[in-house]
Amino acid sequence: MKASFFFVATFCCSLAAAQDTLVLLPGFNSQPVNSYFRYFHQDQEISADSAWKLFQPGHQTAQQLDKINFGPVQGYYWLKLTLINQTQVSQELFLEIRQPHLYQIRFYRLQNNEPILRAETGIRYNFHSRPTPNRYFDFPISMAAGESVNVLFMIHHINSLTLPLHLLTPGSLHERNYSRNLAWGYWLGFLSFCGLFALLASLLLKKRVFLWYFLYISAGVLYGFTELGFAFQYIFPNQAGLDAPAIIHTSIYPLLFLIKFSQGLLATKENLPIVHKLLNVVFYFLLTMVLAGIALTETMFQYSYFILPAVNFAILIGMLSLAYSGIKSLFFNRIIATFYLLAYMALVSAAVFVMINYAFGWYQYQGPNPILIAYFFEAMLLSVALIILYRQTQREKTALLQKVTTQQKELYQQFITGVEKERSRIAGDLHDDIGSRLSYLKRLLSTSNTNKNEDAQQLDQIIEDVRKLAHDLAPPMAHVTGLLPLIEKLVAEIRALTKLDIKLQAHNFTCQLKPEAIQQVYRMIQESLNNIVKHSQATRVDIQFFNYETEIVITIDDNGVGFELVQEGLGLNQLKVRTASLGGYVEIQSRTGAGCHIMITIPIESIRI
| pLDDT value of residue 278 | 94
> Distance (Å, rounded) from C-alpha 402 to C-alpha 61?
81
For 438, the 3-state DSSP assignment is helix
Q: Yes or no: say if 542 and 507 are a contact pair by the CB < 8 Å rule.
A: no
DSSP 291-306: HHHHHSHHHHHHTHHH
Q: Which residues pair with 24 in a beta bridge?
A: 85
pLDDT-derived band at 100 (thresholds 50, 70, 90) equals confident
> Distance (Å, rounded) from C-alpha 46 to C-alpha 60?
17
Nearest to 229, CA basis, from 160, 122, 135: 135
| pLDDT value of residue 461 | 72
Amino acid at 125: Y
| pLDDT value of residue 15 | 38
Of residues 48 and 58, which shows the higher confidence score? Answer: 48
- Inform me whether the pLDDT recorded for 200 exceeds 70: yes
- Inform me whether the pLDDT recorded for 284 exceeds 80: yes
| pLDDT value of residue 17 | 41
For 146, the 3-state DSSP assignment is coil
> Distance (Å, rounded) from C-alpha 247 to C-alpha 249?
6
CA dihedral 393, 394, 399, 403 (to 10 degrees): 90
DSSP-derived secondary structure letter, 513: B
| pLDDT value of residue 402 | 83
Mean pLDDT (whole number) for 300-329: 84
Of residues 498 and 463, which shows the higher confidence score? Answer: 498
Q: Is the pTM of this model over 0.85?
A: no
Dmax over CA atoms of the chain, in Å, equals 155
Mean pLDDT (whole number) for 315-344: 91
Pinpoint the alpha helices (H) of 429-535. Answer: 435-446, 452-473, 478-481, 483-498, 515-531
Mean pLDDT (whole number) for 111-132: 89
Of residues 185 and 459, which shows the higher confidence score? Answer: 185
DSSP-derived secondary structure letter, 535: I
DSSP 28-84: --EEE-GGG-EEEEESS---HHHHHHHTSTT--S-EE---SEEEEEEEEEEEEEEEE
Q: Yes or no: say if 63 and 40 are a contact pair by the CB < 8 Å rule.
A: yes
Query: pLDDT of 357-402, one tens digit each?
Result: 766 667 777 778 888 888 889 888 988 888 888 888 888 888 888 8
| pLDDT value of residue 394 | 82
pLDDT-derived band at 6 (thresholds 50, 70, 90) equals very low
For 153, the 3-state DSSP assignment is strand
- State the Rg of the chain over Cα: 43
Query: pLDDT of 355-366, one tens digit each?
Result: 777 666 677 777
Of residues 527 and 60, which shows the higher confidence score? Answer: 527
Query: pLDDT of 578-599, one tens digit each?
Result: 888 888 889 988 888 888 999 9
| pLDDT value of residue 423 | 64
Mean pLDDT (whole number) for 518-533: 86
Q: What is the overall mean pLDDT for the chain?
A: 82
Give the burial string for 352-391 (b: 16+ CB within 10 Å, else e): ebbeebbeebeeeebeeebbbbbbbebbbbbbebbebbbe
> Distance (Å, rounded) from C-alpha 326 to C-alpha 487?
57
Query: pLDDT of 228-283, one tens digit each?
Result: 888 777 777 766 555 666 777 788 888 899 999 999 999 899 899 999 999 999 99
Query: pLDDT of 286-299, one tens digit each?
Result: 998 888 877 776 77
